[in-house]
Structure 1
């Protein structure tokens, strides 16, 4: 496990001076305001680009003066707007889930994809596609939560078998082994039941095919979990200082970890059920955010959500611009950034939360 940061400038009320977490509220507020503006601009561009480009003026008209008789307005409202909004929900969900996991476990390489959540959800979804092909999207989301929980439970259980405990490297190795096993089982189911095409784009990760139905079902789950993460943010900050410090302050660490785990399962489960296995987002974004705003999770969590949403929307724009006739998977573009950073963290040996 990582050692807690000893430097201090800001802390939750009641935290001893020597254990105050480092935070930069002014930088965080500036980032939130500037990032929100960039996200709005990215959303407009995302709605505008595609196999057929639509002028931004038409996008504005479709959003605020919708005319059902205009084809471009129909395309914007029924295809591109739900896709863009789904990107915001997925990016925020995966990034915040990664931030919560890293804060709770004090592990710099904690990420829904690396800890078996994506593979677990994929395995269960493959089984559902094979045995219950007409299952509703709402039920699929519920089962994806179950699969994510199974994957995470196996990873933490196997990684904790050693006498030396659950180190960052052991967690990564057990995550890779469990993910490989569950992915192989899912692929075996796909081949045997001939549902490979249904799972192919899910494994690649992408926003194509998202409609209002998915957005409307996903929104309350993700919104509730994000609110829950904010409610837990102060406790996660204290927990990230170490069990001894947090217990000394009277915090019920088991209860906080249970709440945080539920938040992670909801966010990751909803995201992967909608767009597939987009890895490394929850690993990369929290590190960038902590570097900019410090380690106070009251700022890390909202900034991570904003940055994650922005990165997914921008990556989705790139997926359509690079090859308009046949989209590049968003998961692949994110991996081009995430894999080198993951190798960098492994080379560091997991030293420090930043």
Structure 2
């Protein structure tokens, strides 16, 4: 009777792999910072590095306040850049988490219905209450996203299929279709809601000030803290539900915390920017390719890649149709659709 010998990687190889991942994180941070600087300089009016520096750090005239370049940099481009980074991190981490907890390689944060919940809330408050200020309806958008996520998770937790990733996907799809139909019905009955939905649904970090970014960043920070607590159990869950349970993982608690984290991250990002499709799906796969299946590395990589991709797409959107702009959500979708097709194509080859 022969016994199989499991070869463990040499300690030197493990250290080298860890060093490579740390270097990769550092490179992503540097590239993200450089891209942020480019974002401050690019727009309908191009600014030089000296002008960007002046706009950021020069003291405003006490009599005239912010004028000229300072006004452009501090009230338009800086908030836009910061929100792209915050929302990109949230959607990237959320995409990696939802794929891990559902064990579904094509899962996205929209699976929980947060996009459709936010959209329905926005058109409803505009139609019923006449709210048009982003600072006011962003709260309703976040509330709609959170309620949709809770409903989807609640539906997937009852019955004989409770806790099954397929049940979660079916519940999410059902709630998404229902809310999309209700959103269309409300928007078509009110012109203001239709106009707001048309622009908000495109997805963009533009036009939002720090009064909105601050509370959104707070929700994202809470979501990131919850996400960090789930990473060890998520690694064990990759071995299978039975194995994870045998190793002491409380599956119900872990999934509840994970789904709460995804709802906070995706809900906050969607409330501020509008729905941005494919971002979480794309960067999670790229991060997995770079780091392997260890979520302790995969999730930080996905967050930084999400911020970088959203920021680059926002910059591209400002350049391709100058002096106009193409919303970042549209650019991400143009990039994400072929990426999704490649994933399906590769999956078919593997299954053949």
Which shifted more, 256-265 or 125-134?
125-134
SS in 2 for 1:147: helix
Point out the more displaced range, 241-250 or 126-135.
Answer: 126-135
Whole-angstrom CA distance in 1 between matches of 2:211 and 2:100: 33
8 Å contact from structure 1 (residues 138, 217) kept in 2: no
2:75 alignment partner, one of 75, 78, 84: 78
Q: Point out where structure 1 has 5 or more consecutive residues left out of the alignment.
A: 1-5, 11-22
1:20-49 per-residue CA deviation (whole Å, 9 max, x = no partner) reads xxx942332112100111111111110111
Q: Which of the pair is proportionally richer in helix?
A: 2
Match of 1:63? 56
Matching of residue 112 in structure 1 with residue 109 in structure 2: yes
2:267 corresponds to which residue?
Answer: 269
Change in Cα spacing, 1:165 to 1:62, as seen in structure 2 (3 Å) is closer
Change (3 A) 1:266 1:152: closer
- Structure with larger RCO (C-alpha < 8 A, sep 6+): 1
Instruction: Kindly report the root-mean-square deviation, in angstroms, between the aligned alpha carbons of the 2 structures.
Output: 3.2
- Are residues 244 and 93 of structure 1, via their aligned partners in 2, closer, same or farther at CA, if it must alter by over 3 Å? same
Question: 1:186-205: CA deviations, max 9, x gaps?
Answer: 12211212221111111111
Secondary structure in 1 matching 2:201: helix
Post-superposition offset of 1:177: 5.6
**Which protein shows a greater Rg?**
2
CA distance, structure 2, for counterparts of residue 180 and residue 7 of structure 1: 49
Q: Cα 1:330–1:143, aligned 2, differ >3 Å: closer, same or farther?
A: same
What are the within-5 Å matches in structure 2 for residues 1-354 of structure 1? 24-68=17-61, 70-134=67-131, 140-152=137-149, 157=155, 178-194=175-191, 195-347=193-345
- Shift of residue 158 of structure 1? 7.7
Query: Deviation per CA, 1:229-262, whole angstroms, max 9, x where unpaired?
Result: 1232222222222211211111111111111111
**TM-score, normalised with respect to structure 2:** 0.84
Given that residues 114 and 279 in structure 1 are in contact (C-alpha distance below 8 angstroms), is that contact kept between their aligned partners in structure 2? no
CA distance in 2: counterparts of 1:175 and 1:229, whole angstroms: 20
Uncovered stretches (5+) of structure 2, i.e. residues with no partner: 1-5, 11-15
Q: 2: distance between equivalents of 1:235 and 1:159?
A: 19
Q: TM-score, normalised by structure 1?
A: 0.84
- Number of residues paired by the alignment? 335
Residues 253 and 310 (structure 1 numbering): CA distance in 2 closer, same or farther, change over 3 Å? same
Asked if 2 retains the 8 angstrom alpha-carbon contact of 1:100 and 1:229, the reply is: yes
CA gap of 1:101–1:24, structure 2 versus 1, over 3 A, is farther
> 1:61-120: per-residue Cα shift (whole Å, max 9, x none)?
222334356510121011110110000010000110111111111111111124422112
SS in 2 for 1:204: coil
Tell me the CA shift for residue 51 of structure 1: 0.7
| 8 Å Cα contact 1:66/1:73 also seen in 2 | no
**Aligned-partner Cα distance in 1 for 2:214–2:174:** 35
